[in-house]
A and B are shown apart, each in its own frame.
Chain A
Amino acid sequence: MSATDGWQRMHPLSPVVRGGRATIAVAVILLPTVVRGGSLGDSYVQLALVAVLTAFGFLSWLVTRWRIDGDDLQIETGLLRRQSLRFPLSQVQAVDIVRPGLARIFRVAELRLRMGGASGSTARLAYLPEREVEPLRVRLLALARGEEQDGDAETPDAVVAEHVLTTVPTGRLVASILISDVGIVAEAVVAGLIVTALLAPAAATGVVSGGTVWIVSALTLVWRRFNQEYRLTVAEGPDGLHVRSGLVALTAETIRPGRVQAVRMVEPLLWRLLGWCRLEVDLAGRQRAKGEGEAQRRALRAVLPVGSRSLAEELLDRVVPDRPREQSRPPRRARWKSPLRYRMIAWGRTETCVATTSGRLRRVTCWVPLQKVQSLRRVQGPVQRSLHLASVHVDTAGRNVHATLRDRDVDEADRALAQLTALAREARRDPSGSAGEATDQ
């Protein structure tokens, strides 16, 4: 590695891992020739293709470099269109370690920094040698907290000193996926296929070829969920909650306290029978890097893919310690406005946190630290006006969590709007309410 001005390169194998499917495809193309014992010289086209791809990969590796410069992480990349990216470390929301299947084979890993602020982007260091990633992550997090780095002496302690809170059992994860919305759709598709195959084998082939896209996408969703949340482990460390998960692709993420924009607990209809729930946190980093799937772009991160209510409460204590225990119900006339939602609607608040519950079949509870409230809106539609009701929306960064004080009495809504505005203002002025806030801009 060249060490001029602290610039460093990625791992030499990164283009291969970055290529992902392309690499596998190339291997598959070349494999038959090699296995058959024929000399590679016979397949000029394939060879030329491989050579070109290798050259491109090598070039992209050659022109990509990164360094930590004071409070910034700098990444330079691109041969023709030179790109120099600068990420202020003070805005780091979370640092993830991602290891796709190929990366695990080659023992490399990607470091992904989720940035907050107006730029709201993701810095990717792909790929670094596995053993360098963890120390680097600790160092970046320390820099993000505004601490001066005093050598690498303290890094091992920070890695070790964590306390595992929970690991999701695989059986429970499978069961929960099977009775989730995604799972039921996939099961319906598969069941439909089997029934058609039994009743009319001839028609089945037609269905399979015609509906391939649907079948594949349904199964992909299920697989992705399973792959992402397999053996998800939550541990408490000095720098926040550590979340690790993955079957083929491994991800590790640190959720820094005070960076959580909102927390959401989802209880689907069938899960409620078993007393299960799902806990997700919203970190403001929006993932917009190209080459990322829809699933990764969602900023919501499952802290608990499936678990009991008490387990969720335990985790909630770490993320939003001061949260309302009691929620108040809307007036009875709200039934006419939201007949399906009526049973679920509720809201409550403390001095630093607001909680709302809603949902038709599934129950969704949101907690928003008042310090993170972006804006408040009072909305009243024609039906609500005739019933003397109004809703208050609590807007948080991003577009994933919708916390709404739904269908309250107009007077209550107005009062809530005024109170929440004042409390949010106080919370912004005096951010000592939760830890880790000192580094906010």
Chain B
Amino acid sequence: MAAATLAALVAAGALAAFAGVVAALACAGAAVVVGLAAEHIVQRRFSAWRYAEREDDLLVARGVLFSRLSVVPYGRMQFIDVTAGPLERSFRLATVRMHTAAAASDARIPGLDREDAARLRDRLAELGEAQAAGL
């Protein structure tokens, strides 16, 4: 987010060349405020994403405005995905997603380091196999 603020400042600097110093300063101030607010929101969103591996199930918590906490038993996992979009790939990140037979249970853990994601997937798959329960 600091990068976004910096970009806004650069843009404001460019504006100064055309529309005088006062307008440029006002723009810069607004950009800083917006940037800080965005940073705060993203920070909170980011820190709301948590997960915990317990003995029999996986806990995934997320969301600031709507806070959700999913409990997914290992035995109910049907398969586990690891996906990485272009943006995630450029940061060497990946998303682990657990699928159960229920359409509604959505448990995913985004922004994991790629190797961590692969390890987590293998661990979960192993636990799922060991505790698998039929439908």
* Residues of A close to B103: CB separation below 8 A: 398-399
Selected from B72, B104, B135, the residue in CB contact (under 8 A) with A402 is B104
* Residues of A close to B66: CB separation below 8 A: 379-382
A378 and B68 contact, CB distance less than 8 A:
yes
A381 vs B70: C-alpha distance when bound (angstroms): 15
The segment from A53-61, A177-185, A347-355, A389-397 that touches chain B is: A389-397
B79 and A381 contact, CB distance less than 8 A:
no
Residues of A79-110 contacting chain B, CB below 8 A:
91, 93
The segment from A18-26, A146-154, A368-376 that touches chain B is: A368-376
| Number of chain B residues close to chain A: CB under 8 A | 26
Selected from A385, A402, A417, the residue in CB contact (under 8 A) with B71 is A417
A120 vs B101: C-alpha distance when bound (angstroms): 9
* Residues of A close to B79: CB separation below 8 A: 118
Considering residues B72, B76, B104, which has the most beta carbons from chain A within 10 angstroms of its beta carbon? B104
A417 vs B68: C-alpha distance when bound (angstroms): 12
B70 and A377 contact, CB distance less than 8 A:
yes
A428 contacts the other chain (Cβ, under 8 Å)? yes
A375 and B71 contact, CB distance less than 8 A:
yes
- Residue interface bits A153-195, CB-to-B below 8 A is 1, else 0: 0000000000000000000000000000000000000000000
Interface size class of A (residues with CB under 8 A): 35 or more
B135 and A397 contact, CB distance less than 8 A:
yes
A393 vs B105: C-alpha distance when bound (angstroms): 9
Selected from A91, A259, A261, A381, the residue in CB contact (under 8 A) with B65 is A381
* Residues of B close to A441: CB separation below 8 A: 132, 134
Considering residues B68, B102, B132, which has the most beta carbons from chain A within 10 angstroms of its beta carbon? B102
A375 and B69 contact, CB distance less than 8 A:
no
Selected from B68, B73, B75, B78, the residue in CB contact (under 8 A) with A377 is B68
* Residues of A close to B113: CB separation below 8 A: none
A396 and B102 contact, CB distance less than 8 A:
yes
List 3 tightest A-B contacts by C-beta distance, closest first.
Answer: A440-B134, A375-B105, A397-B101
